[in-house]
Amino acid sequence: MKITLLSEERIRLEAIPGPMTIEAESAETMYSPFHMVASGLATCVYSVLRSWAETASIAAEDLTIEVGWQFAGEPHRVGSYDLQLHWPSLPEARRNAAQRVAGLCPIHATLHHPPEIRVEVAQ
């Protein structure tokens, strides 16, 4: 797996054999917490799509996923995510199904239905 930091607000996930790597197109781009959340979302979506593709006998070696985000204010946070599936070998008749399957990722569901977060200072 390879995560490429395309900008301060966009990453790309590619299925490359071997250990996971994180690379940046620019030496100035640091792997931020926002990149981490987007990487988790991309990895989750990739996993459910890869599983579905295997079950449906669809080749997925050329599947890459890009995740971009836009910030919102008051409070400063990510206001929206934009996922793009780049899958040249995906049959046209399967595109809508792939889009629906991508929405089955548990991280996707977590972002739609945010969990309660408790913070405490430990003694």
What pLDDT, in 10s, does the model give residues 82-104? 999 999 999 999 999 999 999 99
Q: What is the pLDDT of residue 85?
A: 97
CATH number of the domain bearing residue 85: 3.30.300.20
118 located within any domain: no
Q: Residue-wise pLDDT tens for the chain (123 aa)? A: 999 999 999 999 999 988 999 999 888 889 999 999 999 999 999 999 999 999 999 999 999 999 999 999 999 999 999 999 999 999 999 999 999 999 999 999 999 999 999 999 999
Does residue 122 belong to any structural domain of this protein?
no
**Reduced to 3 states, what is the DSSP secondary structure of residue 89?**
coil
Cβ(50)–Cβ(103) under 8 Å?
Answer: no
Tell me if residue 50 falls in helix, strand or coil: helix
The answer to whether residue 117 sits within a structural domain is: no
Q: Whole-model pTM?
A: 0.93
**Angle in degrees, 0-180, between the axes of helices 33-55 and 95-102, rounded to the nearest 10:** 130
Instruction: Please check whether residue 41 lies inside any domain of the structure.
Output: yes
Q: Which residue range(s) make up the domain with 107? A: 2-112
Q: Is residue 121 part of a domain?
A: no
